[in-house]
Amino acid sequence: MLLTDNPVNGSEGDRFGFLPHSRVLCDAINATRDLPLSVALYGAWGTGKSSFMNICRSLLQEQGIPVVSFNPWKYDQREEIWHALIQTILDEIAARITEDPDAKRSAQLQHALKKAAALSRTAAWLMTRKAAVPLTAGLVSTSDADALKDAWDNGDPLEYRHVNQFEHDFAEVVEQFTGGGRLVILIDDLDRCTPEAATTVLDSLKLFLGEASCVFVLAMDQQVIAKAVAQRFDGDEEMGRKYLEKLIQFPYHLPHVTFESMFSHLSEEVLGLRDDPALWQLIRVAYGQNPRRVRRFINALNLTVISLRLHSTPSRARMLHAAILLTIRLQHPAFYAMVNRSPESWQRMDEAANGNTNVLHMDEDTLFNTDTDLADLLRATSSRTAGLDFPPPPGKTEIDTLTEVLSVTTGGAMDPVTGHTTQGEAQTW
């Protein structure tokens, strides 16, 4: 009954029509000859970036292109991210070489395997020594070189005094591993990272992987990452955007999920109002084409309907009132608090949304003019909306009943002034 937010695992699980668009991007990646290539998959929170990336991974693997996936948000420290990115790539290469059923090819790749192991040890040492400054400068100091010699049990000679040498050898490993092809590295959830972690991932592409025949596909919310990078430039978001423009060679914007595909996939999961056009009008206006937000709303609504059923079978009007009030609680907490203090406010705001603003009290008028999204919601869900049969705003008794249920299904008691919950602010979906 509760919907999960897990991304699809591959092309066979495509629910929202991403597959044709994924093919276009993957074909472009496969056709590109001038490598390395950096691709940004831009999309807002909850719009399906991870699912799109997983479909791309499946398609690329079907074409015989090796793919490595990396999730930087699991790591906190700058050094951890640098090391983890390199280590993830090298481990994947090593695993595929040792598992290759072609004995002749496997033997030919042993040199690459040995070099990958050496690179891995070097990357580990560089990170544990916190050598960010020497790396950026391109030189490992003599004392650090001596420490590296001592750290290696096998006594290998030091070959990586310059980052350029590290990049060159990494490129050689990729070249031997792919047979002159390309290695695709999918970096997901960049916008989940702390600002420092996100910029570290972007920096690592320049520091370590500048020469290799790799394609880097980074899934991110462009605005979030631009703001993260801007912290490096005293909060200058324009500089943050320019930094991304220089680093990203090909920006690709995630195609919108059609409302029809979302309805087709999710309507069967709704309790009580499954095919009701009024509910889906509410969802379209309040949650748009964001699958994550719609799923979370449906989960909360389903729990609310089940709670209402504990006492009696709720009418269509009660379930629609619950859906609207749930949305108001989640997205417009100030109005939610106002309705709890004065239930008649809903009726007056409904009239204002339909053109009669003279009925508004002073505080209602202020809110109506500052929260334009609220006016759009009330207008779209008004009983005067033709063809959808929305019920008129509920009275005090009904509002009291519904808010009591919502305090359980959406968590926490409500502050009567702000509308926020006492267990943390209500999340704006």
Handedness of CA 54, 55, 61, 66 (dihedral sign): negative
User: What are the pLDDT tens digits along the chain (429 aa)?
Assistant: 677 777 878 878 788 889 999 999 999 999 998 899 999 999 998 899 999 999 999 999 999 999 999 988 887 666 677 778 888 888 888 787 777 666 666 666 777 667 766 766 666 555 555 444 333 333 344 444 444 445 443 444 444 445 567 778 788 888 888 888 999 999 998 888 888 888 888 888 876 667 889 999 999 999 999 999 998 888 888 898 888 888 899 999 999 888 888 898 899 999 999 999 999 999 999 999 899 999 999 999 999 999 999 989 999 999 999 999 999 999 999 999 999 999 999 999 999 999 999 999 999 999 999 999 999 999 999 999 889 999 999 999 999 999 999 999 886 555 544 555 544 444 444
Q: Which helix (H) or strand (E) holds 40?
A: strand 37-42
Tokens of residue 405, six digits: 């249920």
Which domains occur in the chain, in start order?
11-253 (3.40.50.300), 259-409 (no CATH)
Residue 371's CB is within 10 A of a number of other CB atoms, namely: 16
Please report the pLDDT score of residue 182 as a whole number: 93
> How far from 254 is each of 177, 318, 340, CA to CA, in Å?
31, 37, 40
The pTM score is 0.78
Best CA proximity match to 216, nearest among 225, 226, 206:
206
Rounded-to-integer distance, Cα 283 and Cα 279, Å: 6
163: which 2 tokens?
A: 């980052």
